[in-house]
Amino acid sequence: MIYLDSAATTLQKPPAVSRAAARAVSTCANPGRSGHRPALRAAEIVYDCREEAAAFFGIERPERVVFTQNATHSLNLAIKSLLHGGGHAVISGYEHNSVVRPLEALAERGVTYTTAVSPLFDPAAVCRAVEAALRPDTRCVILNHVSNVFGFILPLEQIDDLCAEKGLPLIVDASQSAGVLPLDVRTLRAAAFVCMPGHKALYGPQGTGILLCCQDKNLYSLIEGGTGSLSLETRQPDFLPDMLESGTLNVPGIAGLREGIRFVAREREAICRREARLLRRAAEGLSQLPELEVYCSDSCQSGVLSFRSRRIDPSDLCQMLAGRGVCLRGGLHCAPLAHRSGGTLPEGTARLSVSAFTTPAEVEKFLQILKELLKSA
């Protein structure tokens, strides 16, 4: 099998990840609820992971690292924290449904949004479009750091500068960038929240996500309940991380995520270089197949590459590849906005995405299988 669907989730993880998760299943109790050894062990693992994530992303206070179920959960917390009282948001033309759908759901509370549409692989156009979309009642800007469809690296620093100048908080969707591209919140002036999954380029198990809170005011909890703190109070604690972490945490997932973060903290630069090389080779190989349209950029692309056949629907193509043991994703990738921006509606694209564990030989084999498939189809 050749796995090239790491933008959905990384399948191959460092071996320490599954070992840690399995160990936690049998040795960890409920953190923060009791004073016995298994509960304390769980609490230590959770705190270590919080502290290591804080160090990796440049968050000064570990309590501002909130554990969530996935990036969608993190984005819902961030968006509803900034917009639950109403207002207008500006989003890039490359946002995922995990941004668009919460905004649509907030319409009944008076929330509106403008999509800053801009052409593919043109960072300057993103800046111009976002600035043009700002209104006097704009409450925040939401930016996908890297498009999950095209791997387009959006101009985070420039949008952050723009937001800082305008006094607007920025929500960053780092689903495809966290663990690969440099991401230090100390370098961002306007970022209020950074949202990410734990199970993609941080190599944790599925069911893990992180919300980095660069502020601790205007927070909005999606669920309320037991936190192990202020138990006499019937109201939800108003401090981090307890306010946003009700109920028993996913300790086995967090134990695995801690190992994943340790791995990327050691290897991030090498991973970034390796993925860039693999992507360049894939783009080069795909571009030699005349019936394919390949969406690539030398200067602003990371980890993800989309392509389309002029004859075969992308979902069908990916299904054919799956039958030959090659795992890609076809279709809209839950991001119709990105396809509108890239001009790839309504069929979408075939998408390949790499990880630290993808090998050059796998990319070559994929290219060979695809070439044969297109010849025979």
Which residues of the chain form contacts with other proteins (CB under 8 A)? 31-35, 40, 43-44, 47, 50-51, 61-63, 227-232, 237, 239-242
Q: Which of 237, 224, 362, 371 is nearest to 307 (CA)?
A: 371
Nearest distance from residue 202's CB to other proteins, in Å? 20
Nearest distance from residue 216's CB to other proteins, in Å? 11
Residue placing its CB nearer to other proteins in the complex, 64 or 88 = 64
Residue placing its CB nearer to other proteins in the complex, 54 or 78 = 54
Nearest distance from residue 266's CB to other proteins, in Å? 21
CB 298 within 8 A of CB 151: no
Residue placing its CB nearer to other proteins in the complex, 67 or 150 = 67
Residue placing its CB nearer to other proteins in the complex, 105 or 230 = 230
Nearest distance from residue 272's CB to other proteins, in Å? 29
**Residue 252, both tokens:** 């086995």
Nearest distance from residue 242's CB to other proteins, in Å? 5
Residue placing its CB nearer to other proteins in the complex, 59 or 370 = 59
Nearest distance from residue 206's CB to other proteins, in Å? 24
Residue placing its CB nearer to other proteins in the complex, 61 or 128 = 61
CA–CA distance, 367 with 289 (Å, rounded to integer): 9
